[in-house]
Amino acid sequence: MDFVKNSWWLTFGAFFSLGSFMFAALLSDSVPVQPIRYNHAIHISNGLGCEDCHVGARRNEKATLPGLDTCMQCHSEAVGQSPEEAKVRSFAGTSQPIPWVRIMQLPEHVYFSHRRHVALGGMKCAECHGPMETRTEPPTKAFRPMKMDNCIECHRERKASNDCNDCHR
């Protein structure tokens, strides 16, 4: 009888420990590590704009993360001495795409159009993405969390529609 009681407590303890570990992992603020420590400031100071690397940010529904074809337009040969620049050519040599880690994510059921916000709404990239022109390393979290309250507040300030069906599909 004591064995059964002890087994139950051992089982409970094991599941409780496992559950605690998983809960802690979910709450941890893991920092995404980008494959290349992209320096926005140096690229902006050399005359590039957001859309030079994030193709379609103004005219398409979705903006893109820079692909090898975009990077290789300038970096097929060394421009400087940065080991980060060499990583671009290394990815190109293996024909592997750059495995960027997305930090701006919306739930599947939310529709967001860059074109609607930037070209039609006149928003500047920095309003959602922050002062990227000053960043010497990739961001590790969203400048403005993509939360419904933030969107509703912005729409209210701009007198834009807050109809649920505009964003939830």
Domain parsing of the chain, residue ranges: 40-167
Report the first-to-last Cα separation within the chain, whole angstroms. Answer: 57
Handedness of CA 98, 101, 103, 108 (dihedral sign): positive
Which two three-digit tokens encode residue 143?
Answer: 């400048």
pLDDT reported for residue 23: 46
From residue 79, how far is each of 12, 71, 74, 142 by CA, in Å? Answer: 60, 12, 8, 30
Look at residue 30 in the predicted model and tell me its pLDDT. 79
Instruction: Give the model's pLDDT for residue 75.
Output: 94
| Per-residue pLDDT, 95 | 84
Say how far apart CA 90 and CA 79 lie, in whole Å.
Answer: 15
Low pLDDT (below 50) residues in the chain: 3-4, 9-27
Q: What's the pTM value of the predicted model, to 2 decimals?
A: 0.75
- 37, 104 contact by CB (below 8 A): no
Give the pLDDT score at 31: 86
